[in-house]
């Protein structure tokens, strides 16, 4: 929540999230059937908001002094979240994800960018849509810039993907590898970038 004054009128800016009732009901019913006691239902964009508010150092660099974009590269969607000096600004959901590759090939074990050399047009479409979100944000004010991009989610660990995105948007891109005070147990199958949404789900601000 942000309090501000406009034309001598005190106003409040609130962030509101909504989900279709059917989705909420299905998730709630599933948890009850599992014998669990649901406490809160969270969304991915709020997850990043909590992480950014709770922690300052990402890959040993502060995010409190600039504007960063978080890209959650998921299976069905790419979530673009803009955080300005540690404060959530907005997000956009792009209806693309790793399932786009599944429509082209049955062999989906891409470890490096070279493994998808025949399907780079898919990634190019992602980047085109992501860039539209960036341009929308930067067009709102001459002061709006994006200083760095952090990627996370399943396919984000693909070697060379960060460099490929950087070369096309001309903004530094980093895979999230460390967050202050967050440690992944050695030998864990999943990296921090692949576990970020799950980690943030246990944070209650």
Find tokens 């590269």 and name the residue: 73
3-state secondary structure of 90: strand
Asked if the model's pLDDT at residue 205 lies above 60, the reply is no
Q: Show the tokens assigned to 25.
A: 């009901």
Q: Which residue has the higher pLDDT, 192 or 40?
A: 192
What sign does the CA torsion over 20, 21, 23, 28 have? positive
First to last CA, the chain: 13
Assign residue 7 a region: left if phi > 0, alpha if psi is -120 to 50, beta otherwise? Answer: left
| Percentage with pLDDT > 70 across the chain | 93
Q: Show the tokens assigned to 202.
A: 């246990």
Kindly state the DSSP code that residue 157 receives in the 8-state scheme: G
The alpha-helical segments, DSSP class H, found in 56-204 are 99-102, 120-139, 161-169, 192-201
The burial class, CB within 10 Å (0-12 / 13-18 / 19+), for 39 is exposed
Q: Alpha-carbon distance 137 to 55, whole Å? A: 24
Confirm whether 13 is domain-assigned.
no
Q: Residue 107's pLDDT is what?
A: 63
Confirm whether 27 is domain-assigned.
no
Asked if the model's pLDDT at residue 195 lies above 90, the reply is no
The burial class, CB within 10 Å (0-12 / 13-18 / 19+), for 169 is middle
Q: Alpha-carbon distance 8 to 80, whole Å? A: 34
**Residue range 149-169: average pLDDT?**
93
Confirm whether 195 is domain-assigned.
yes
Asked if the model's pLDDT at residue 33 lies above 90, the reply is yes
Confirm whether 15 is domain-assigned.
no
Confirm whether 20 is domain-assigned.
no
Could you tell me the CATH number of the domain that includes residue 88? 3.30.420.40
Confirm whether 58 is domain-assigned.
yes
Q: What residues contact residue 193 under an 8 Å CB cut-off, 6+ apart?
A: 151, 152, 153, 156, 157, 175, 176, 177
The number of distinct structural domains making up the chain is: 1
Residue 130: domain span: 43-201
Sheet of 78-84: strand order equals 87-94, 78-84, 67-73, 148-152, 173-175
pLDDT digits over 135-153, tens only?
A: 999 999 999 999 999 999 8
Residues 55 and 179 sit within 8 Å (Cβ to Cβ): yes
Confirm whether 25 is domain-assigned.
no
**Residue range 168-188: average pLDDT?**
88
User: Quick one: pLDDT band at residue 174, thresholds 50, 70, 90?
Assistant: very high
pLDDT digits over 92-131, tens only?
A: 989 988 888 777 666 666 788 888 888 899 999 999 999 9
pLDDT digits over 42-67, tens only?
A: 776 677 778 888 888 999 999 999 99
**Residue range 8-35: average pLDDT?**
85
Confirm whether 56 is domain-assigned.
yes
| Percentage with pLDDT > 90 across the chain | 40
């Amino acid at each position: 929540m942000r309090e501000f004054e406009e034309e001598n009128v005190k106003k409040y800016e609130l962030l509101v999230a909504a989900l279709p009732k059917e989705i909420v009901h299905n998730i709630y019913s599933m948890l009850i059937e599992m014998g669990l006691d649901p406490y809160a239902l969270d969304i991915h964009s709020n997850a990043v908001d909590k992480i950014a508010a709770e922690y300052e150092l990402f890959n040993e660099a502060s995010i409190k002094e600039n504007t960063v974009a978080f890209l959650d590269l998921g299976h069905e969607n790419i979530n673009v979240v803009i955080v300005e000096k540690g404060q959530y600004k907005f997000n956009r959901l792009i209806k693309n994800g790793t399932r786009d590759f599944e429509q082209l090939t049955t062999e989906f074990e891409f470890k490096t960018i070279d493994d998808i050399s025949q399907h780079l047009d898919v990634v190019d479409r992602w980047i085109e849509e992501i860039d539209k979100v960036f341009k929308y944000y930067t067009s709102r004010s001459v002061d709006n810039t994006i200083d760095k991009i952090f990627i996370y989610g399943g396919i984000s660990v693909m070697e060379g993907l960060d460099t490929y995105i950087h070369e096309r948007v001309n903004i530094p891109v980093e895979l999230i590898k460390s967050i202050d005070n967050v440690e992944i147990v050695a030998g864990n199958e999943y990296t921090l970038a692949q576990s970020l949404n799950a980690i943030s789900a246990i944070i209650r601000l």
